[in-house]
Structure 1
Amino acid sequence: MLPYLTTVKPMRRIRYFIFLKDVLILALTTFGGPQVHLAMLYDRFVQKRRYLTEEELMELNALCQVLPGPTSTQTITAVGFKIGGPNLAYITLLIWVLPAVCVMTAAGMGIYYLEQRNLSLQFARFIQPMAVGFLVVAGYRIGRKVIKNQVSLALALTATLVAYVFSSPFMTPIVIAAGGLTTALTYEKQERMTKKPLQVQWANFFLWLGVFVAAAGLGAITQSLPVRLFENFYRNGSLVFGGGQVLTPMLYNEFVAFKHYLSREEFLSGLGLVQALPGPVFAFASYIGALSMRNDGLNGQFWGSFVSTAGIFLPGTFLIFFVYRFWEQLKRYRVVRASLEGINATSTGLTAAAGLALFQPMAAHWPSVVVVVVTIAVLLYTKVPPYVLILGGLLAGIYL
């Protein structure tokens, strides 16, 4: 029995167990990204169990959308926090991410196993262009929601160009910050709201910042690969707005284009696979971590997956615990609401730049181009689930 649950009253303990069982069911069945995740959270948490109201769930989801980190993961963690406080929230986070993390860790080890034995990876040849198709559609859908005027369109196009030309991972936070600052200057267009003095509890902020600084310092001093992996993913998890689709270009720039920990083919194979899994897309970090430490044996791969997973999920958890307590007051400030427009627009541009960078080597290979186009068409104009597409691509690769 989980230690935390043994300390609570029997009725509350039963309620917590039921809630955690629901979280596990969602972790095993929620395909399709944040929008689908939200619908399934609504069905189970609001309609079926009545853990919270529809208004409360939508409010939590809106808060998580404006924070860096994985939106679905932060939302379900925040629900756990609301029901049972921080301890239940941490258990919720663990149960939610564990299935996808285990599969992606095994996938990273499996890819390396095949490569070591010179076995063909051609069975995944359709998965790679399909992953590009997924990314294009994700960028398109995000863009339709966040590009509302000429300013946001200009920011998205500028971010696309800058991120495509300058592939350094250090460019990503600069682009995002510039976009947020640009629209923050237009705060006067936002509706005035009655403000109350902010009552901020700083503990979780200093915890987030302390880990950020300590990881960067230890990585620079020790040059230890596990420490540097943790720092890399912790930094990315602290800066990504918009969920897993926006995280993808950041990871590609850092681990493929810049550091060469993975090949482009390995990256795309993992990206395609994570689209077919239930749970958070951020579990992609586990796959990258395992392959980044392939030269350190099986234990090294486990360790690489663990530190990468912790690095990518902890920042968003610390920040949602921090901001949740004073969000009602913070969102009343016009400059805060205005900056979100630029952050969302530049995040769309980053996704577009990643799509271009990944598609460019395929452009001369017509079968790959056909797979990309067909994938985009199926996702946009049919209701075929992503995992069905991926499984079909795997079967076609094996058969052909």
Structure 2
Amino acid sequence: MFKRVRYYIFLKDVLLLALSAFGGPQAHIALMFDLMVKKRRYLSEEDLIELNALCQILPGPTSTQTITAIGFRIGGPNLAYLTLLVWMIPAVTIMTIAGIIISHLQARSISIEFTKFIQPMAVGFVSYAALRISQKVIKTKTAAVILVLAAIGSFVFKSPFVFPLLILAGGAFTAFKYKAQPIEEKDRIKIQWANFILWAGFFVFIAALGGVTRSLPVRLLENFYRSGSLIFGGGQVLIPLLYTEFVEFKRYLTSEEFLTGYAMVQTVPGPVFSFCAYIGTLAMRNFGIGGQIVGALVASIGIFLPGTFLIFFVIRFWEGLKKYRIIKASLEGINAASSGMVVAAAVLMFLPLESNVQNIAVIAGTFVVLVFTKIPAPVIILLGLGAGFLF
């Protein structure tokens, strides 16, 4: 009985975070410290820092994996899956509704000109993300070179299949610097493969099913599952892959629709990866509202599930794995390549916009406000929407 009450309170706390956690992974972690460490004492500060660090080096949404891992520690896999659902549902619901509204307006040839300011604002947000991530992870000349090469590679080739190759190449390059890492005493690692097999098996199954059926929902599930399995660094790093795959490669969305959705997700609490629900909704716009809801569901399942499988797999033997120098050394290149892709995304997202004074001023203004003030992102976006309606 005590456990059930504790689990109920924990899930209620997760819902509170899902409805109030604005500002991306860094802000989410700060709120987790306040509520889950200081107030509820579900775990220690050291435990939360370590869990967050582990999630940062795994593909998938960092704050989502962190809060799911906390649920796993408290109540095992069942509570962890419930945690994932409670955490993602509010943001996914909001972004699904946003996608339905945008597609409804477009289908009736109603202008979305009121979004004209928030589209360049989205470029300003991505530019700011590129700056913040670069400041955080670029500490050496090697990392700077990897950033530049990754940015050029993702800009030139513009293929969703290039991104995982760039990340793996960056990690492999800095792995050779492992001798610079301190030696730690190692214990024998005992690996339980069940969740890894589940992750890989589902990956192969949906890829084969999509190839056989050619069903759009199944192909969307595979597209997002692949993205969630291969992207390191959180929502900002996901953006260039989504833009390349769904705007430039498959043309499920226009650049205007993509930028509008990305700006909107800045006003929504919870995980930035909920943006995928918006993309899934628009990708299925020809199948009615029911089809759009299916699109949002498969996109959300696809993007969130692989990171959950992987954190369940790795958390069991992380204590031993993190002592290996080659693992620590590879993180420098992985993070540098990821930040380079965000730099390229800012350029790619700017190119479809008109290069007029208004758009450049809005991009620059958004970037400056984010760098030099503490105005919350939702307030900035709402001001942009208000200005679009007025002018």
TM-score normalised by structure 1 residue count = 0.97
| 2:54 is aligned with 1:63 | yes
Aligned residues: 391
- Give the counterpart of 1:105 among 71, 80, 96: 96
The whole-number CA distance in structure 1 between the counterparts of 2:13 and 2:386 is 32
- Give the counterpart of 1:373 among 354, 364, 372: 364
User: Residue 383 of structure 1 corresponds to which residue in structure 2?
Assistant: 374
Q: Is the 8 A contact 1:362 1:369 kept in 2?
A: no
The whole-number CA distance in structure 1 between the counterparts of 2:17 and 2:116 is 30
Sequence identity percentage? 58
**1:118 to partner: Cα distance:** 1.1
User: Residue 130 of structure 2 corresponds to which residue in structure 1?
Assistant: 139
| 2:227 is aligned with 1:236 | yes
**1:185 to partner: Cα distance:** 1.3
The whole-number CA distance in structure 2 between the counterparts of 1:17 and 1:125 is 44
User: Residue 212 of structure 2 corresponds to which residue in structure 1?
Assistant: 221
The residue type equivalent to 1:200 in the other structure is: I
Q: Is the 8 A contact 1:20 1:95 kept in 2?
A: yes
User: Residue 17 of structure 1 corresponds to which residue in structure 2?
Assistant: 8
The whole-number CA distance in structure 1 between the counterparts of 2:388 and 2:375 is 19
**1:92 to partner: Cα distance:** 0.5
SS where residue 276 of structure 1 aligns? Answer: coil
User: Residue 40 of structure 2 corresponds to which residue in structure 1?
Assistant: 49
User: Residue 340 of structure 1 corresponds to which residue in structure 2?
Assistant: 331
The whole-number CA distance in structure 1 between the counterparts of 2:266 and 2:306 is 23
Q: Is the 8 A contact 2:255 2:352 kept in 1?
A: no
The residue type equivalent to 1:13 in the other structure is: R
- Give the counterpart of 1:250 among 230, 241, 246: 241
| 2:262 is aligned with 1:293 | no
Q: Is the 8 A contact 1:29 1:279 kept in 2?
A: yes
- Give the counterpart of 1:304 among 292, 295, 307: 295
Q: Is the 8 A contact 1:160 1:350 kept in 2?
A: yes
User: Residue 267 of structure 1 corresponds to which residue in structure 2?
Assistant: 258
- Cα-to-partner distance string for 1:201-227 (whole Å, 9 max, x where unaligned): 000000000001111111111111011
- Give the counterpart of 1:212 among 194, 200, 203: 203
User: Residue 5 of structure 1 corresponds to which residue in structure 2?
Assistant: none
SS where residue 351 of structure 2 aligns? Answer: helix
- Cα-to-partner distance string for 1:74-101 (whole Å, 9 max, x where unaligned): 0000000111111000000000000000
SS where residue 120 of structure 1 aligns? Answer: coil
The whole-number CA distance in structure 1 between the counterparts of 2:181 and 2:358 is 48
Counting only pairs closer than 5 Å after superposition, residues 148-167 of structure 1 correspond to structure 2 as 148-167=139-158
The residue type equivalent to 2:164 in the other structure is: P
Counting only pairs closer than 5 Å after superposition, residues 64-103 of structure 1 correspond to structure 2 as 64-103=55-94
Q: Is the 8 A contact 1:23 1:95 kept in 2?
A: yes
User: Residue 320 of structure 1 corresponds to which residue in structure 2?
Assistant: 311
Identify unmatched segments of 5+ residues in structure 1: 1-9
Q: Is the 8 A contact 1:124 1:394 kept in 2?
A: yes
User: Residue 178 of structure 1 corresponds to which residue in structure 2?
Assistant: 169
- Give the counterpart of 1:39 among 30, 42, 51: 30
**1:363 to partner: Cα distance:** 5.8
The whole-number CA distance in structure 2 between the counterparts of 1:195 and 1:216 is 38
The whole-number CA distance in structure 1 between the counterparts of 2:73 and 2:359 is 46
Q: Is the 8 A contact 1:190 1:338 kept in 2?
A: yes
SS where residue 168 of structure 1 aligns? Answer: coil
**1:114 to partner: Cα distance:** 0.4
Counting only pairs closer than 5 Å after superposition, residues 345-364 of structure 1 correspond to structure 2 as 345-362=336-353, 364=355
Post-superposition, which runs of at least 4 consecutive aligned residues in structure 1 deviate over 3 A? none
The whole-number CA distance in structure 2 between the counterparts of 1:393 and 1:238 is 34
Identify unmatched segments of 5+ residues in structure 2: none
The residue type equivalent to 1:61 in the other structure is: N
Compare 73-82 and 354-363 and name the one that shifted more: 354-363
SS where residue 321 of structure 1 aligns? Answer: helix
SS where residue 352 of structure 2 aligns? Answer: helix
The whole-number CA distance in structure 2 between the counterparts of 1:42 and 1:349 is 30
Q: Is the 8 A contact 2:88 2:274 kept in 1?
A: yes
Counting only pairs closer than 5 Å after superposition, residues 274-289 of structure 1 correspond to structure 2 as 274-289=265-280
User: Residue 106 of structure 2 corresponds to which residue in structure 1?
Assistant: 115
The residue type equivalent to 1:240 in the other structure is: I
The whole-number CA distance in structure 1 between the counterparts of 2:250 and 2:198 is 28
Compare 116-125 and 69-78 and name the one that shifted more: 116-125
Q: Is the 8 A contact 1:241 1:347 kept in 2?
A: yes
- Give the counterpart of 1:395 among 379, 386, 389: 386
Q: Is the 8 A contact 1:246 1:350 kept in 2?
A: yes
The residue type equivalent to 2:289 in the other structure is: L
The whole-number CA distance in structure 2 between the counterparts of 1:188 and 1:147 is 19
SS where residue 69 of structure 1 aligns? Answer: coil
- Cα-to-partner distance string for 1:254-280 (whole Å, 9 max, x where unaligned): 000101010000000000000111000
The residue type equivalent to 1:214 in the other structure is: F
The residue type equivalent to 2:13 in the other structure is: D
The whole-number CA distance in structure 2 between the counterparts of 1:18 and 1:317 is 22
